[in-house]
Amino acid sequence: MYHYTKSQKLDFIIPSIFLIVLVFVFHQTFLDEWLASHFYVQGSSWIYRNNYILEKILHKDGVIFSTTILVAVCGYWIYLWKSKTDEKRRDYCGFITAATVLTIVCVFFLKRWSTLPCPWDVVAFGGDRAPSALWQMFSSNLPNGKCFPAGHSSGGYGFLSVYFGYTFIYGNRNLKTLIPGLVIGITFGITQQMRGAHFLSHDLTTILISIFSSWVTSLAYSYYNQNYEN
């Protein structure tokens, strides 16, 4: 039966607490705006909003890239499931697929319901929205922002499930498995921050959701093992 050790559970708890603090600090102290201001010409426009590499390659083509990886992992999981070989690898691929999809879905719906604006919608950056506090993110008195948390980077940070899945299925940490999620997520995140689509706190929240999604997936696996495989 798969499980996390007590020390491995800290991989969920410590980063989550740290990220919650960072999200609050960056959003509520205007550090978000300070960082974003480096990519905006006051009274003019976002420097990199229509940059070909950022918009076309890293944003639009990036979606195709991350989707292709996810489909490939899912396809490999189906193959292993049908061939009934290498159960650990099958369950590992299933974990990655489930946790990554859950991350993307959670971020998608939160973006639809939240009211926090994108940087390019804020008055200080040429928009028509005043900054909103975190506790106003679901306020019925504000229009939907369709920006919080960061959607594009969810296709990268969702692959933090590669790390959490490995720890859960194989029973030990492998820091190399953090590379896919961090590299793709950070690349996508910086891309959208430079274009004015997201504040840093939006991406930090997406990382938090990806950690939560892996935790939920591990609970689902544990429940299944206890009730159907014993």
- The model carries a pTM of 0.95
pLDDT of residue 230 exceeding 60:
no
Predicted confidence (pLDDT) per residue in 116-128, tens digit: 999 999 999 999 9
Predicted confidence (pLDDT) per residue in 144-187, tens digit: 888 999 999 999 999 999 999 999 999 999 999 999 999 999 99
Q: Is 197:60 a contact under the CB 8 Å cutoff?
A: no
The candidate with the shortest Cα–Cα distance to 92, out of 185, 218, 206, is 218
CA dist 70 and 146 (Å) reads 24
At position 41, the amino acid (one-letter code) is: V
Per-residue pLDDT, 7: 82
What are the domain boundaries of the chain? 6-27+49-228
Q: Is 160:179 a contact under the CB 8 Å cutoff?
A: no
Assign residue 51 a region (left: φ > 0; alpha: ψ between -120 and 50; beta: otherwise): beta
Per-residue pLDDT, 137: 92
Alpha-carbon torsion angle 76, 77, 78, 81, nearest 10: 120
Helix then strand then coil, % of the chain, to nearest 5: 75, 0, 25
Q: Is 128:181 a contact under the CB 8 Å cutoff?
A: no
CA dist 186 and 24 (Å) reads 19
Predicted confidence (pLDDT) per residue in 61-70, tens digit: 999 999 999 9
DSSP string, 4-64: --HHHHHHHHHHHHHHHHHHHHHHHTTHHHHHHGGGB-TTS-BTTTT-HIIIIIIIIHHHH
